[in-house]
């Protein structure tokens, strides 16, 4: 499948577009750092929707500081139009390099063409963009979300007997989707569906967006529970939605991890704690610690070095015992 480009953005507020001019090359030319060797990066973050995002923002900000890169950071508050506005402002400010994590996959070609025409290289982090023109960005650094969904689905297939909590031979799965149109929501759903198709007794009986937030996960899980249908398994496409759903499950008098098996993605500290406590059964890791690699890629691009167009993040999975072991050293 032809796919994706990325985008990221972050902190402070969009209205604070008080950028100061910094060096960049002339229109359409090849990119270099400013004449004095300093590098300014404009970074447009998705928002602050989850523990994962908070850790990602911290990683970007700390790594920029460590690398001596001047970071201009924008928090797009979950809105694509805010990210586009941020990127246009970075172009106007003549930053040396732009990085972002796109809120959604589609609709980026126009603004990315503007960056290209201005000679400012773009690096996608975390999430892809669905563009046929791969010349619009230098590299895409992040996870393979399809594989993450597959790992989650494979756990249900491998643990089918245990996952059939009412023992009726049918495994009813409810799914909490991430932000509609976002790469991780699309790809994790696709990977999960692909893996569970190996066992016809496993069916997704309800699937709705919780927008990657704890509140969203809680509210949607409440509505799933109110339907009255038996739920064997919850697949929450991130830890925060899973944690919100746990609150709804407990409020309904059920035991998360036992009456309803729970699988999530991310492995942030709160998720790992719930896994270790037996409230979650399995977590697929998605690392937010992209900052150091991003700064390294930016420096290489500005030095005129070749970079890989797709750089994959290394990730693992955790069961309950592994979470207990990993928790003391967890960085996020």
Whole-angstrom Cα distance, residue 142 to residue 183?
A: 11
> From residue 256 to residue 285, what is the string marking binding to ligand AHR with x (rule CB under 6 A)?
---------xx-------------------
Q: State in angstroms the smallest separation of the CB of 126 from ligand AHR.
A: 5
Cβ distance to ligand AHR smaller for residue 25 or 266: 266
Cβ distance to ligand AHR smaller for residue 119 or 288: 288
Whole-angstrom Cα distance, residue 32 to residue 151?
A: 40
CB 73 within 8 A of CB 48: no
Cβ distance to ligand AHR smaller for residue 212 or 318: 212
Cβ distance to ligand AHR smaller for residue 48 or 205: 48
CB 286 within 8 A of CB 59: no
Cβ distance to ligand AHR smaller for residue 53 or 261: 53
CA nearest 52: which of 236, 194, 298? 236
Residue 189 binds ligand AHR (CB under 6 A): no
Residue 49 binds ligand AHR (CB under 6 A): yes
**Parallel, antiparallel or unpaired: strands 282-285 and 317-318:** antiparallel
Query: Tokens in use for 92?
Result: 């106007």
Residue 184 binds ligand AHR (CB under 6 A): yes
Cβ distance to ligand AHR smaller for residue 91 or 141: 141
If 0-12 CB within 10 Å is exposed, 13-18 middle and 19+ buried, where does residue 107 land? middle
Stretch that binds ligand AHR, among 50-58, 82-90, 221-229, 293-301 (CB under 6 A): 50-58
CB 56 within 8 A of CB 11: no
Q: Which of 52, 100, 108, 140 binds ligand AHR (CB under 6 A)?
A: 52
C-alpha dist (Å) from residue 240 to 28, 87, 193, 273 = 42, 28, 21, 12
Residue 217 binds ligand AHR (CB under 6 A): no
Which positions lie near ligand AHR, rule CB under 6 A? Answer: 49-50, 52-53, 126-127, 184, 212, 238, 240, 265-266, 286
């Amino acid at each position: 499948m032809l796919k994706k480009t990325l985008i990221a953005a972050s902190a402070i507020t969009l209205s604070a577009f008080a950028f100061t001019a910094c060096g960049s090359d002339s229109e359409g030319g090849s990119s270099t750092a400013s004449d004095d060797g300093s590098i300014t990066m404009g970074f447009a973050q998705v928002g602050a929707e989850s523990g994962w995002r908070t850790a990602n923002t911290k990683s970007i900000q700390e790594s920029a500081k460590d690398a001596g890169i001047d970071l201009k950071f924008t928090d797009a508050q979950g809105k694509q139009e805010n990210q586009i506005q941020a990127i246009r402002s970075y172009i106007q400010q003549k930053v040396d390099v732009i990085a972002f994590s796109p809120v959604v996959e589609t609709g980026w070609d126009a603004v990315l063409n503007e960056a290209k025409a201005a000679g400012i290289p773009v690096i996608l982090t975390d999430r892809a963009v669905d563009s046929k023109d791969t010349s619009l960005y230098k590299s895409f650094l992040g996870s393979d979300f399809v594989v993450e969904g597959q790992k989650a689905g494979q756990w249900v297939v491998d643990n089918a007997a245990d996952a059939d909590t009412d023992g009726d031979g049918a495994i009813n799965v409810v799914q909490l989707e991430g932000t509609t149109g976002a790469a991780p929501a699309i790809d994790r759903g696709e990977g999960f569906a692909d893996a569970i198709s190996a066992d016809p007794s496993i069916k997704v009986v309800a699937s709705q967006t919780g927008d990657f937030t704890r509140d969203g996960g809680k509210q949607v899980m409440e509505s799933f529970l109110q339907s009255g249908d038996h739920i064997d398994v919850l697949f929450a496409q991130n830890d925060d939605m899973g944690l919100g759903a746990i609150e709804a499950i407990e409020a309904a008098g059920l035991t998360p991890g036992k009456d309803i098996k729970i699988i999530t993605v991310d492995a942030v500290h709160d998720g790992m704690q719930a896994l270790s406590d037996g409230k979650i059964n399995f977590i697929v890791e998605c690392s937010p610690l992209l900052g150091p690699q991003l700064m390294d890629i930016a420096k290489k691009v500005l030095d005129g070095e070749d970079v890989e167009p797709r750089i994959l993040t290394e990730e693992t999975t955790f069961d309950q015992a592994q979470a207990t072991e990993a928790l003391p050293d967890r960085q996020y």
